[in-house]
């Protein structure tokens, strides 16, 4: 079960699937073999490598544009003379625009195809990354950062849709999605590393220009290796303008109010904060009505939430990603501000996130189809809890004796917290992505990918605002002089602990099965529809779309050691 054949490897005779007719349901052993094969749309191992590398590197760059900016922000504020009150938006606006525009961009994937939107998103990000490096004031920088978020909003759902459409359920898909999830942590780490290096050794502008070079590489690889004819474009698909005009303003206004509420003069007593929040809430209420009863092609169709446990899983993800956002934000500032670590050493302290993420990615291909999803989600939830709890419990250092030592604090608290953090986010991201893309039909792959990433970005932005609100409320109640820097960050970690506990309780009620080789959602749907007509559980696959049927037959034929056309076996 753990062996995944190499792309060109011929399976042994006993592993060759039985001859599958165009009109038959494949047996489990056939599905197991198909789940380990290279997809027929990726004709050579080199093309598959380039395709996977382009998709996973896109996730890396999405995180790179966010994490490293916090490291170069002090240099930027000094260079552009940005006041303290104006530092929040250049850092958070990318998350906001990405999270709010993912669903509309997913609709463009349905209309124009995943490859077109994937390449357009990277081209857009390339242009605005270069522009960020030439910014001369805070306003221009904020606009450029917002435009960067639009690029990420385009290629993230396209990437997940391409992976979900090309790879069948099975160990090979598990491995690819594991690598994809690991690149979130790797991208975060690389962003910190490059941000620290450019701040100390070069100029902050090179942080954006280096990112632009990598984005150009991703776009070139995608252009060369992503299959051109996947049958995933439909010119008849229409944009849900009612949904667009209610969901996006609602998310923007609510997130803005929560994020700015802790820093505005008077806090939530300030009229513009309260009014903004109420307006956003009303927009979201209107969005629920529009999506449920008005739109003929809603951005969030009801079919997305139809699979069992989907609603609870989405709620748990929203909370969990909020925990991860709080962990990353406050851990970065705690290490630099409370422990007084240099930017480059801070990047080194975050190394377990990248290494652990890659280890889990490689291991995921061997255990995701063995362990039940519920067990994996519980392990993830425990990882989230320990990551913030360990930081909250770090003892204060004496300014006189410098005890406990930094070495002790790192190995006793920071290192295990980083390991637990990557366990939390990587396992949850991989399990949910595999479950959602397997449960959804091909036409909903982009929307499902957009929903998962919306929960990630909006969850991080929203709950980070809640954490900042908790800090600001404590400072206002106790007084500025009685709440030091370390205490403020600990409040953020305790907030994350509460969210992690609620998320763990939710995941305990989600009974996901193993990520084993099985039929796709479209194949299962056809079985259910055709069973009454055929009068038997063994029913036709012939009514699948011609491209899906052709892909299935190609997979079966490639599994034959002598290249016989298995689809022509008489029934």
Q: Delimit the domains of the chain by residue range.
A: 16-35+519-568, 45-240+297-507, 241-296
Dist. CA 300–CA 410, nearest whole Å: 44
For residue 210, what pLDDT is reported? 94
Dist. CA 128–CA 511, nearest whole Å: 43
C-beta neighbour count of 338 within 10 angstroms: 20
Segments in the chain below pLDDT 50: 1-16, 19-23, 515-517, 519, 536-553, 555, 557-571
For residue 531, what pLDDT is reported? 56
Show Cβ contacts of residue 514 under 8 Å, excluding neighbours closer than 6 positions: 368, 369, 370, 371, 372, 373
Dist. CA 477–CA 262, nearest whole Å: 13
Q: Is the pTM of this model over 0.85?
A: no
- Residue 566 to residues 37, 168, 557, 560, Cα–Cα distance (Å): 16, 19, 6, 8
**525 is written with which tokens?**
């749907």
For residue 549, what pLDDT is reported? 47
Could you read off the pLDDT of 491-511 as tens digits, one per residue? 999 999 999 999 999 988 887
For residue 568, what pLDDT is reported? 39
Dist. CA 157–CA 281, nearest whole Å: 26
- Cis link prior to 404 (omega < 30° from 0)? yes
Q: Any idea which fold 45-240+297-507 has?
A: Growth Hormone; Chain: A; (1.20.1250)
Instruction: Report the run of H or E that residue 240 belongs to, with start and end.
Output: none
Residue of 453, 470, 414 lying closest to 63 (CA atoms): 453
Residue of 191, 175, 181, 146 lying closest to 160 (CA atoms): 181
For residue 307, what pLDDT is reported? 76
Dist. CA 426–CA 434, nearest whole Å: 12
For residue 179, what pLDDT is reported? 81
For residue 448, what pLDDT is reported? 77
For residue 538, what pLDDT is reported? 45
Q: Is 512 helix (H, G, I), strand (E, B) or coil?
A: coil
Judge contact between 161 and 446, C-beta under 8 A: yes
For residue 212, what pLDDT is reported? 94
Strand locations in 47-139 (E) = none
For residue 55, what pLDDT is reported? 92
């Amino acid at each position: 079960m753990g062996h995944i054949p190499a792309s060109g490897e011929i399976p042994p005779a006993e592993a060759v699937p039985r001859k599958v007719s165009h009109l038959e349901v494949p047996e489990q052993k056939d599905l197991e073999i198909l789940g380990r094969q290279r997809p027929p749309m990726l004709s050579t191992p080199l093309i598959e490598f380039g395709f996977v590398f382009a998709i996973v590197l896109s996730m890396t760059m999405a995180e790179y544009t966010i994490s490293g900016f916090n490291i170069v922000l002090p240099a930027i504020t000094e260079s552009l003379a940005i006041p303290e009150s104006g530092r929040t938006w250049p850092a958070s606006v990318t998350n906001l625009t990405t999270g709010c525009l993912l669903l509309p961009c997913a609709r463009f994937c349905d209309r124009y195809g995943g490859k077109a939107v994937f390449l357009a998103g990277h081209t857009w990000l390339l242009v605005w990354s270069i522009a960020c490096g030439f910014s001369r004031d805070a306003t221009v920088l904020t606009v450029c950062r917002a435009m960067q978020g639009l690029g990420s909003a385009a290629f993230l759902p396209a990437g997940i849709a391409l992976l979900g459409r090309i790879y069948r359920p099975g160990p090979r898909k598990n491995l690819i999605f594991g690598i994809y999830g690991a690149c979130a942590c790797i991208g975060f780490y690389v962003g910190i590393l490059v941000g620290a290096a450019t701040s100390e050794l070069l100029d902050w502008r090179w942080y954006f220009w280096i990112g632009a070079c990598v984005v150009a590489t991703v776009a070139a690889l995608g252009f060369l290796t992503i299959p051109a004819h996947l049958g995933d474009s439909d010119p008849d698909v229409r944009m849900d303008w009612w949904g667009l005009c209610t969901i996006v303003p609602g998310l923007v206004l609510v997130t803005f109010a929560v994020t700015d509420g802790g820093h505005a003069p008077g806090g939530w007593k300030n009229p513009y904060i309260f009014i903004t929040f109420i307006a956003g809430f009303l927009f979201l209420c209107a969005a629920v009505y529009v999506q449920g009863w008005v739109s003929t092609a809603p951005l969030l169709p009801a079919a997305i939430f139809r699979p069992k446990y989907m609603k609870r899983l989405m709620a748990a993800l929203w909370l969990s990603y909020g925990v991860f956002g709080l962990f990353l934000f406050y851990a970065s500032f705690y290490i630099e501000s409370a422990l007084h670590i240099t930017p480059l050493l801070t990047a080194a302290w975050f190394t377990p996130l990248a290494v652990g993420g890659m280890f889990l990615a490689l291991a995921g291909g061997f255990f995701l189809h063995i362990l039940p999803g519920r067990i994996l989600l519980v392990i993830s939830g425990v990882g989230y809890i320990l990551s913030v709890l360990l930081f909250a419990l770090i003892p204060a250092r004496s300014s006189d004796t410098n005890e406990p030592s930094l070495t002790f604090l790192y190995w006793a608290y920071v290192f295990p917290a980083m390991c637990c953090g990557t366990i939390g986010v990587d396992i949850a991201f991989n399990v949910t992505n595999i479950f959602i893309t397997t449960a959804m039909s091909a036409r909903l792959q982009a929307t499902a990918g957009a929903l998962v990433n919306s929960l990630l970005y909006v969850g991080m932005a929203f709950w980070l605002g809640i954490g900042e609100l908790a800090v600001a409320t404590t400072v206002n109640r106790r007084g500025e002089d009685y709440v030091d820097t370390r205490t403020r960050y600990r409040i953020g970690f305790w907030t994350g602990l509460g969210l992690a506990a609620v998320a763990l309780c939710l995941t305990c009620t989600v009974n996901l099965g193993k990520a084993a080789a099985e039929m796709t959602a479209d194949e299962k749907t056809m079985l259910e529809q055709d069973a009454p007509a055929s009068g038997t559980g063994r029913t036709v696959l012939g009514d699948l779309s011609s491209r899906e049927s052709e892909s299935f037959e190609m997979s079966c034929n490639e599994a034959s050691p002598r290249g016989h056309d298995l689809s022509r076996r008489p029934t």
